[in-house]
Amino acid sequence: MEHLKTVFAILLAVQVISGCRATDTYYVENIDDPGYEVFSRSYGWQVNNFFRCAEMTEFFMEYQDIREDREASEQLADRYFGELWDKLYYEKVTVDMIGTMHMETDCTFSFDPYEIPYWKDGGFRMEAAMTDGSISIGCDSESFTAEALMKVEGSDVYMDSFRSVYREPGTDHVMEMAYDETSGPMSLPVCNEGLFTYVPESGTMSVKITGPEVTDSFLIIFDSDRTGVSRNGAPVKYYPSPRPQFAGFSRFR
């Protein structure tokens, strides 16, 4: 996406990321850390999509048992997605500004998310499979490769493992992310009546950004409505948590 190219350009201009000042051009919404801004702007397709894919997979698994009953099926869709769902067929459902899921077999699915890393990346698609209560999710597109293991327990979605690599088209910039499984659970509530939770309430991720004249690595610490950044044992600095990049969508909490 063009906004990511802009942020990577900001990183190039700064070079010494730890020396950021609030008066610099990259200061936005009290975020004086360009590395965190890159993470925040890419969060939607880097992380959020995996929670959304897990929710839609869980919905489809329930839906298969009742899909012959249209009234019950629509009530189930309402319980998950409120008024945002559309085109509920035996093997497909679309949720506004979230994406479209297709059932491939009884326990495998493909997900076309609303948010993608690069608008020309027409092959961007996520694959999900349910096995013994765990949801394995993978993505292998032109610019983004990732895999995650998710599960839904009770009213929460958990991320048990996650690794991703984003290679910005047309440049040598690379962004790598991984969930630190030793940091405690990373989870958020399952969507309810079309209300979605955008960021986890806890958990830690490692982020590494590399490219010409740019090297940065840090930990992301989710903490309710704020997100911390930690580098090399320095005190954690907190910022507003990531928010959806697309305007007019207020169904995230």
Distance CA 82, CA 165 (A): 33
Averaged over 120-137, what is the pLDDT? 88
Are the beta carbons of 174 and 211 closer than 8 angstroms?
yes
Compute the average pLDDT of residues 45-65: 96
Q: What is the DSSP string of 96-140?
A: TTTEEEEESSSSEEEEEES--S-TT-TT--EEEEEETTEEEEEEE
**Both structure tokens of 127:** 């694959």
* First CA to last CA distance, the chain: 24
DSSP reduced 3-state for 208:
strand
Mean pLDDT in residue range 241-246: 80
What sign for the dihedral angle of Cα 134, 220, 248, 143?
negative
Q: 229 or 118, which is more confident?
A: 229
Q: Establish how many alpha carbons lie within 13 A of residue 66's alpha carbon, considering only the half-sphere containing its beta carbon.
A: 15
Comparison of pLDDT for 249 and 220, the residue scoring more: 220
Read off the pLDDT of residues 132-176 as tens digits, 9 standing for 90 and up.
999 999 998 888 999 999 999 999 999 999 999 998 888 889 999
Contact (Cβ atoms closer than 8 angstroms) between residue 186 and residue 222: yes
Residues 6+ apart with CB under 8 A from 3: 41, 245
Q: Model confidence at 27, in pLDDT bands (50, 70, 90)?
A: very low
pTM for this structure?
0.86
| Contact yes or no for 140/156 (Cβ under 8 A) | no
Report strand pairing: 99-103 vs 108-113.
antiparallel
Helix (H) or strand (E) holding 7: helix 2-14
Task: Report the sign of the C-alpha dihedral through residues 163, 35, 209, 110, in that order.
Answer: positive
| Alpha carbon separation from 222 to 32, 141, 146, 225, 236 (Å, rounded) | 18, 27, 20, 8, 11
d(CA 10, CA 24): 10
What band does 122 get if pLDDT is binned at 50, 70 and 90? low
Count the Cβ atoms, other than its own, within 10 Å of residue 41: 20
**pLDDT averaged over every residue in the chain:** 85
Residue type, 56: M
For residues 17 and 93, what is the distance between their CA atoms, to the nearest angstrom? 43
What's the confidence (pLDDT) of residue 164? 96
* Side-chain half-sphere CA neighbours of 41 within 13 A: 21
- Rounded Cα distance, 224 and 53, in Å: 22
**Residue 238 CB neighbour total at 10 angstroms:** 12
